[in-house]
Amino acid sequence: MSTLLTALTQPSTTSLRPQPLGSIQIVSGQIVACDPLIPHTEPFERTISRGTYPVIAWWNDDETCIAAAELKLAEARPIRWEMAVKHGQKVEELQEGYIFGYPVDTGLGCFADVEAIKKLNELEDQMSRELGDDFISLYDNLIDELLTENGDEWCNVNVSKDPEMNVIMFRSGFGDGFYASYWGFDEKGSIVSLVTYFLTL
């Protein structure tokens, strides 16, 4: 188990600082963690109940970067962790030292309902049509400004009003890379957390 997951299981042993980033709406129960600016619509195999869930950034103790992002599903503390996989991925078949995760090429990660990610992709196409030659990219024409409002570290992008859906994006540790996510389980075996770890500790 990584240093970060041990720290979240036993918070008294760490100086990580939590920062609430708002909440995401889950309408399908299918969760996506990915670089939001890379087209991606494949959710994790496990599903959760529909509802509204807070997203928390965990900062390194020196506060130089976000060490991890957490989708908090319940108040109970996780006592064990399981790597989050998509359909067809089997952790037991991984070679030692390898992970299942997602690539980051834009320095951003996110949590969202799979339907919200689809809407985000549609939003880029819509902006391209409406802005014409003034459209550069989803990042340049929308995301960059929203990030600036929050110290260039995170943003909340509303992608649909009916039903209400959004994507919460955040800086991925020190930048680009390949990052795994983990389901956290409480002592009763219920899923209480989903954490993406950015390999900073």
Two structure tokens written together for 20 = 């609430």
Q: Tell me which amino acid residue 8 is.
A: L
pLDDT score for 12: 55
Which residue positions in the chain have pLDDT lower than 50?
none
Query: How does pLDDT run across 173-184, given as a tens digit for each residue?
Result: 999 999 999 999
Beta strands in 114-179 (DSSP E): 154-161, 164-171, 177-179
| Residues 6+ away with beta carbon under 8 Å from 99 | 83, 178, 180
pLDDT score for 108: 97
The residue with tokens 């902006």 is 127
Q: Mind giving me the DSSP string for 13-57?
A: G---EEEEEEEEEESSSBEEEE-TTS---PPPSSB--SEEEEEEE
Residue 9's SS3 state is helix
pLDDT score for 123: 92
